[in-house]
Structure 1
């Protein structure tokens, strides 16, 4: 039995008169798929009364709940809600309710710790697909889920700096930046993946992480490889908005950033236009091959599949950042 799973990066849908058309340019990839999963970058919630939806992120606005129609029309089966704009708690809970009402699965956020870290399971013709979602990009206070408090599933990292040896002689030389995942949260991810491994045939870990237009940080490689060692079939990264490379580790792909897919936040207009789709072939309940498809938002901010020289240029950029 052959099946297809399509994975996409950051999706933000807002201000559309007809949200049903948001994914129209990707229909030829999405329609034949058996499972479709993306990162939902933005809560489906009414705007705050004072007009400030996220106090520490000026200019950010939540997506009207009716924008869920875009996901429904595209037949999105599941979304990650583990990211830095699934905030604050009231908007997050409203968004989860909107997804539930539309019968769209989700993971990475919830009303308490256990629900935030709970995997999403989808079954298609006897094949069990499992998804876990985490974010390393998160507000330091009131954002992570707790034992009795709502929030997102986090896997945080520390940052430290080693001054350049010549900085006293040559002011301004950049330091070496060191990052490490929090040991307890990394251990939780490993435990989560190992526990899910026995419950599914295809296991995907979704990670919101990284820095725009930069190679992967050490903590990203650390998390990605730990997830593979614990049993993940594929790591799908997102968060920087720019596309990133793909590392093959122990025979499994770690896709560091799929970039933007549909993205309507006005401040992203004309920026980070390229994205990647992972078109995954499943055979006999196992992930066999992955075809990387390139996308681009056009001047009207509508996403389209690329082909020919445009696609080749994007894929060459991915290859240049990749590690075999």
Structure 2
């Protein structure tokens, strides 16, 4: 009789929200070290096979424009993160980042090029949708990662990348479906500070699932948004902030991490949300 194939262990992934390492976070990290920012949740991060984050800006050696700028001034929203961050991400198992957001080009193509170099050196993989001029050889729209004999495809949708319709993503989802066991969409979308996703966003999430996505995880609104199960598949419309210096209302000081377990036979995707809090000293901790 043939030996039964042993069922591999489930893959354990952790999805986190917007990671912003400039302004007051940069100041805190310069004072106390990069690890200080992640210290309260470091054990959780390091125990994952893979942590996936939205990197809300470029990693460059350009000087910060946002440090010391007036709140609400244009410079306050121009982000760049210190090159040392790339290695810190890797050390905390954040070895895949989505660059498809409205800040990744804050320092233009030069900033993006530096980001890819710093991430590559630290062995942090990346993907992202940034617009019609995108060179997919240097910045792919999707990444397929194999863990425990399961192939997981991660694809970026960025509402703020002009000129590329949603159909690009739907087509790509269908293609990835043939190459991977799982397809997970990371979407940067919707409206800031809105606790409930807009009808247009909901429609889009449903389209992604209809195209074959197994899970949709959103970011950008800076607050946690609603969760939905559609056709048996889960949608987290927004995980809110992960590392950010926003403290002006309770909703922005809270974020969500989503732990995902992927079982191969039978195919089961199991999610567990965990709430986090942003501390005014720059740290991210579990919600008390």
Q: Structure 1 length normalisation: TM-score?
A: 0.73
Instruction: Give the Å deviation of 1:296.
Output: 0.3
CA contact (8 A) 1:233 1:287 kept: no
The match for 1:186 among 139, 160, 166 is: 166
Distance in 1 (alpha carbons) for counterparts of 2:173 and 2:279: 38
Q: Contact 2:20–2:55 (CA<8 Å) still a contact in 1? A: yes
2:128 is aligned with 1:105: no
Q: CA deviation at 1:306?
A: 1.7
Say which one has the larger Rg. 1
CA shift in 2, pair 1:109/1:216, >3 Å: closer
Matched, 1:32 2:47: yes
- Are the aligned partners of 1:78 and 1:105 in contact in 2 as well (CA < 8 Å)? yes
Pairs within 5 Å for 1:9-48 = 9-14=17-22, 15=26, 16-17=29-30, 18-47=33-62
The CA deviation at 1:269 is 4.7
- Once residues 36 and 221 of structure 1 are traced to their aligned partners in structure 2, the CA distance between those partners, rounded to angstroms, is 25
In 2, distance between residues paired with 1:231 and 1:46? 40
Q: Secondary structure at the match of 2:190?
A: coil
- Long gaps (5+) in structure 1: 139-143, 145-153, 156-184, 308-324
* Cα distance, 1:137 vs structure 2: 2.7
- CA deviations 1:251-286 (Å, max 9, x no partner) are 11111110001125xxx3555110001111122264
Aligned to 2:62, the other structure's residue is in SS state: coil
- Which residue among 173, 181, 185 is the counterpart of 1:201? 181
* Bigger shift: residues 106-115 or 9-18: 106-115
Counterpart of 1:114 in structure 2 is 136
Aligned pairs for 1:150-229 within 5 A: 185-214=165-194, 215-229=196-210
Secondary structure of 1:92's aligned partner: helix
| 1:12-32 deviation line (CA, Å, top 9, x unaligned) | 123212113332222342222
Q: Are 2:152 and 1:137 equivalent residues in the alignment?
A: no
Show the counterpart of 2:100: 82
Unaligned runs of 5+ in 2: 1-8, 68-72
On the 8 A contact 1:21/1:70 being kept in 2, the answer is no
In structure 2, relative to structure 1, the CA distance for the partners of 1:194 and 1:213 (3 Å cut) is: same
Q: Deviations for 1:276-320, whole angstroms, at most 9, x for unmatched residues?
A: 01111122264431101000012312111124xxxxxxxxxxxxx
Q: In the alignment, what sits opposite 1:177?
A: none
Counterpart-to-counterpart distance in 1, 2:217 and 2:175 = 19
Q: Indicate which of 113, 119, 128 corresponds to 2:151.
A: 128
Q: Quick one: distance in 2 between partners of 1:41 and 1:121?
A: 21
TM-score by length of 2: 0.82
Equivalence for 2:6: none
Please report how far the alpha carbon of residue 218 of structure 1 lies from its aligned counterpart in structure 2 after TM superposition. 2.5
| Distance in 2 (alpha carbons) for counterparts of 1:67 and 1:229 | 37
Q: Could you say what secondary structure the match of 1:85 adopts?
A: coil
Q: How many residues align?
A: 258
1:61 CA drift (Å)? 3.2
How far residue 98 of structure 1 moved from its aligned partner, in angstroms, is 0.8
Q: Which has the higher contact order (CA 8 A, sep 6+)?
A: 2
Q: Kindly report which structure 2 residues correspond to 1:283-302, keeping only aligned pairs within 5 A, or say none.
A: 283-284=263-264, 286-302=267-283
SS in 1 for 2:75: coil
Which residue does the alignment assign to 1:252? 233
Corresponding residue to 2:116 among 88, 93, 96: 96
The Cα of 1:102 is off from its aligned counterpart by 0.7
Q: Extract structure 1 runs of 4+ deviating beyond 6 A.
A: none
- The farther-off stretch of 246-255 and 297-306 is 297-306
In structure 2, distance between residues paired with 1:196 and 1:24: 36
**Aligned position for 1:168:** none
